[in-house]
Amino acid sequence: MKMYRKLFWTLIHGFAMLPTIAIRDSHVVNRKLVDVPQFERPIGNHTFHIGKEALLGCSVINLGKHKVGWLRAEDQTVLSLNDRVVLSPRYSVNLDTPSTWQLRIRPLRAEDRGCYMCQINTQPSMKWQIGCIDVYVPPDIINEETSADVSAQELDNVTLICRASGHPPPKITWRREDHEPILLKKVGSRDFYKVESYTGSSLPLWRVDRRQMGAFLCIAANDVPPAVSKRIILNVNFSPTVIVPNQLLGAPLGTDVVLECTVEAYPNTINYWLKNRGEMLLDGPKYVIGEERSSYRVMMKLTIRYFSRSDIGTYNCVSTNSLGKSEGTLRLYEIKLYPSSQSSAEVNIGGLTEGAVKQKTFNNSTNKLPRTLNIIVLLILLLLYC
C-alpha cells in the first residue's frame, strides 16, 4: 500500500512537471531559431566584364561566433575566412554592411567564370549557398584562323574565313570596305544578288568574279564593346580585256584627236599604243599618253596633237599582264569638208568617202565641227535660193 502511494506521488509529480519541461523545451527551440545563423538573401547570378571587378555578396544574420567563408564551388578551394583572404591578392573580402560579406575579385579573368559558395561553419552540418558569375570578354579576331589577303583566278571558288574569340561568342558580319553591296551567287547559279552585309564566319564566293574584288571587312561583335574588325583583300586575277568605245574616229586636219581604250585586268597591266602595227608611240610633243586607273579598270588615252595627213591610219591600244595580252584597234581618218553641188560635205576614211551627215553619231570632239559646217552649208544653200 505504501509502495502504491509512492508511485502515485511520483506520477503526480511527473504530471505537474510536464508543462514546465515542455515550456523549457520550447524555450530551447526558440532560442535555437533566433541564434542560428541564417542567409538573408540568395547571392544570385551576375555578369561582369573581364579586367573589371566582380562582387558577390553573402548576407548572414545571427552569425554569432560562427565564421563566414568563401569557396570556389568547382574545386572547394577556400578563398577567404571571415575577412581574411586565403588565396591570391586578386581576392578581397569586406564587410559591406554589418551583415554582408562581400567577395571582390579584381582584376577579373576569364577563368574566374564559375560558381562561388558562401559557407557558415555551423554544427553539425555547415550552411551554404551558391552564386555564379559569368565573365564577359570583348571580341578578338583569331588571326591564325582568319583568312589573310586572298588572290584567286577568276571563276575559282573562294571562301573568306573570319574567326573571333570572346564571350558570349561574337557574331561575325562581312561588309565591303567601299560600302558597295556584296555580290553573291548561289552554287550553280549564274546570277548575282546583292547584300549589304553577310553574317557568318565564312563568306562563300562561288566562281569568283572580278566585280567581287576589293577589300572586305569582317566585323566581330558581342555584347561587350568594342567590336573589332579585320580587313581582308580579295584579288581576282584575269587576263586583260580591251574595250574600244569608238573604233572609227574622224577629225579635221589641225585639230587634236583623242583616242580611248578601256582595259579590264588584274594584276596591273603594262599598256602602250602602236601606230600602223609598228611604231610604239611615246609621250612627247606629238602624242600625249595618259592612263586613269580605278580598281581593275584602266582608261588609256592617246591625244594626237595637231592632226595631220600622216596621222591617218590604224592605232592599237595594247595591254598585257602576267596572264595574257589583249588589244583594241581604232581607225583614224580625216574629215574633209567642203561645199559641193550635192550640198553635202564629204569625209575621207583612208580612201573611202562618206557623207558627213553620218558624223552626227560621233561625240563632242569630233562632231562639233561637222555640225557647224552643216549649218554653214545650209546657210549657203539658203543664200543660193534667195
Ligand X SMILES: *[C@@H]1O[C@H](CO)[C@@H](O)[C@H](O)[C@H]1NC(C)=O
Instruction: Examine residue 361 and tell whether it contacts ligand X (CB under 6 A).
Output: yes
Stretch that binds ligand X, among 177-185, 296-304, 310-318, 359-367 (CB under 6 A): 359-367
Rg (CA), the chain: 46
Contact 93, 85 (CB under 8 A): yes
Instruction: Examine residue 333 and tell whether it contacts ligand X (CB under 6 A).
Output: no
Instruction: Examine residue 367 and tell whether it contacts ligand X (CB under 6 A).
Output: no
* Shortest distance, position 143 Cβ to ligand X, whole Å: 26
* Shortest distance, position 204 Cβ to ligand X, whole Å: 9
Length of the chain in residues, anyone?
A: 386
**Binds ligand X (CB under 6 A): choice among 10, 26, 30, 45:** 45
Instruction: Examine residue 354 and tell whether it contacts ligand X (CB under 6 A).
Output: no
Provide the β-strand partners of residue 348: 334, 353
SS3 state at 158: strand
Instruction: Examine residue 48 and tell whether it contacts ligand X (CB under 6 A).
Output: no
Report which DSSP code applies to 186. Answer: -
Binding mask 217-246 for ligand X (x = CB under 6 A): ----------------------------xx
Q: Which residue, 228 or 243, is less far from ligand X as judged by CB?
A: 243
> CA dist 274 to 147, 156, 318, 328, 385, Å?
42, 34, 8, 10, 49
Instruction: Examine residue 169 and tell whether it contacts ligand X (CB under 6 A).
Output: no
User: What residue has cell string 588572290?
Assistant: 151
Binding mask 290-329 for ligand X (x = CB under 6 A): ----------------------------------------
Contacts of 363 (CB under 8 A, 6+ apart): 246
End-to-end alpha carbon distance in the chain: 175
**Binds ligand X (CB under 6 A): choice among 63, 78, 132, 323:** 132
Residues in binding contact with ligand X, number by CB under 6 A: 12
Instruction: Examine residue 116 and tell whether it contacts ligand X (CB under 6 A).
Output: no
For 118, what's the count of Cα atoms within 13 Å in the CB-facing half-sphere? 30
Q: Which residue, 123 or 364, is less far from ligand X as judged by CB?
A: 364
**Binds ligand X (CB under 6 A): choice among 363, 376, 378, 381:** 363
Please list, residue by residue across 246-258, b when 16 or more beta carbons sit within 10 angstroms of its beta carbon and e when fewer do: beebbbbeebebb
Binding site for ligand X (CB under 6 A): 45, 115, 132, 156-157, 187, 245-246, 361-364
